[in-house]
Chain A
């Protein structure tokens, strides 16, 4: 399978803190790659570094064979990487419709068709189309954030903790949507909820203290009790 995204030994500082100290992983086309690790391990910073929001001081990020390490965030996004941040990044004073409009670089037939598709995936968004983003529930905000990242023709989606703070029934809906999206898009997921991660992930990368400690097939990790206990505190 083709490698779509390759992260090779990235180091990132936030202020004086050396957060990422050599992260290595790759996302293969058509798969869901999950970044796992404890709180503060560096998962969110890895996604931000890929997007150029916290630029790497060392190492490289390659997307579609092109080096995007030093590219500005908007260029990275325009190359086809959609980003759903941990806090969802909803524009609270804009309606659902306006949030979607900001994300649509053009309003051609293909983009409108993608919008239709994503609204079928998340019918709640259609119901609250004219409602301010700030007045949506946590689950609806998550759906809007994912729809926004997906509406542009993204080849890769980076989704940070989509289950965080959501009720189990909403988590199910989000999982169904991710399963649907993976049919057309490669996904990199940061997830603390191992049950969810194991159900939708194809591959995993374990991160600890800003370093990659292990990577492989999700099925292997599911059966590796020691690894799960050591790095995820479960099992």
Chain B
């Protein structure tokens, strides 16, 4: 039983990190129809900038804040310079964002060097609690808490605020939103920046979780995020959460019970969902 609880907490924590990365991706795709393969690069930049600032100041929360700002700034630059010229053209989007992903990765090495960087869990989040025979690692619970908190904040914004309404309407029908007098391009920019900030947050939280960060870390995680977006339904925020938890849990259980299948399980999940619900678990009605 204690093993199952531990595997579940582990899976949930991984799921939350994937969710933070995928949620930005799904909003960007749902609203803007933009395939952003540079998203993983923003994740890695979040990890490096956040851990660098954390090391510099000794405050993990300032590190998180710095990663968020890095995400917002890089999101602004990426949208203005890379994405704006290729709106509406998926082939060009794939090529230019993949290229930009490589540029972001190499730039990381220019700024912080080619070596891996160690990332420690801050002392107040280190260690674990023992409840009966169950050992609960504090930092994993912290990640799960942050994941649900971010989900709550974004759900509130999407459901209860005017900008959230506009984003949801834009996912369903962009032309109509413009015809109602709303500058959708400005909304695109805000969403892109928010999505990039979430990617950076995911990166900086991931760093102490894995203990070490490296420039290419974005590639690996971005693939998981894309799988989650497809499973959850492109453009669906709750879909991303559910799919990320599924992927996280499946990976965690499989790694223990059937290690040989632990890498394939995500692809299998995606294949099963695509066979029975090609549109993903959740979809937006236009």
Contact = CB atoms under 8 A, between A and B. Distances in A.
A12 to B, nearest CB: 15
A94 to B, nearest CB: 6
A44 to B, nearest CB: 13
A51 B284 CA distance: 25
Nearest to A107: B162
Contacts of A134: 285
B172 interface: yes
Given A77-B179, A89-B173, A93-B168, 4 more contacts: A92-B172, A94-B165, A102-B182, A134-B285
Interface string A11-42: 00000000000000000000000000000000
Contacts, number: 65
Contact of B165 (A101, A148, A152): A101
B181 A74 contact: yes
B168 A103 contact: no
A105 B177 CA distance: 11
B179 A91 contact: no
B98 interface: no
B97 to A, nearest CB: 25
Interface residues of B, number: 20
Interface in A181-219: none
A53 interface: yes
Contact of A74 (B162, B169, B183, B286): B183
29 contacts: A53-B179, A72-B178, A74-B179, A74-B182, A74-B183, A77-B179, A77-B181, A78-B181, A85-B175, A89-B175, A91-B173, A92-B286, A93-B168, A93-B284, A93-B285, A94-B165, A94-B172, A98-B169, A99-B169, A101-B165, A102-B165, A102-B166, A102-B169, A103-B180, A103-B181, A105-B181, A148-B180, A152-B180, A152-B181
Interface of A: 51, 53, 72-74, 77-78, 83, 85, 89, 91-94, 98-99, 101-103, 105, 132, 134, 148, 152
Contacts of B175: 53, 73, 85, 89
Interface string B265-286: 0000000000000000000111
Nearest to B172: A91
Contact of A93 (B172, B179, B182): B172
Nearest to B236: A93
